[in-house]
Amino acid sequence: MLVRIAAVRLGVPTMVDATLADIRLSAEWLGTPPQPGDLVDVEMDIDDMLGWGKTIAMAGNESTLRDGPRLHGVVEHHEQQVLTIRIGVGLLQVELHDGSTAIPPGTAVFVVVENPKLYPTGA
């Protein structure tokens, strides 16, 4: 997925402010630090397992979500506790606490992304 870098804070860890699908978020950067203004292809990792109604919700139910940056996407695939979501032209794979709810492809969802990590792909 593509992100636009707005700011870089060097340190341990290196942090960036980036825009993904028109949403601004702060993330840990793992790789050679980018420059502000760069458009970078990245993989995103969210360490937390997501919970329905707290950090992930179907569109229309997003008012139940806790505060934080929210990405909007569409379900590509759902298998047990792994959900693949299309966000813009990229894909985000997340783990769910409760994967028993069948989520069909094409379902619009919102995801609260807390403490994301971005890995540049080099593409």
Number of domains in the chain: 1
At 45-88, the pLDDT tens digits run 888 888 888 899 988 888 889 888 899 999 999 888 888 999 98
Structural domain span for residue 62: 2-120
Which pLDDT score is estimated for 50? Answer: 86
- Confidence band, pLDDT 50/70/90 cuts, at residue 1: confident
Which pLDDT score is estimated for 15? Answer: 96
- Confidence band, pLDDT 50/70/90 cuts, at residue 113: confident
Which pLDDT score is estimated for 30? Answer: 95
Q: What pairing do the DSSP bridges indicate for beta strands 56-58 and 70-79? A: unpaired
Largest CA-CA distance found in the chain, in angstroms, rounded: 42
At 15-55, the pLDDT tens digits run 999 998 888 999 999 999 999 999 999 999 888 888 888 89
| DSSP per position, 69-114 | -EEEEEEEEEETTEEEEEETTEEEEEEBS---S---TT-EEEEE--
Backbone region of residue 55 per phi and psi (left: phi > 0; alpha: psi in -120 to 50; beta: other values): alpha
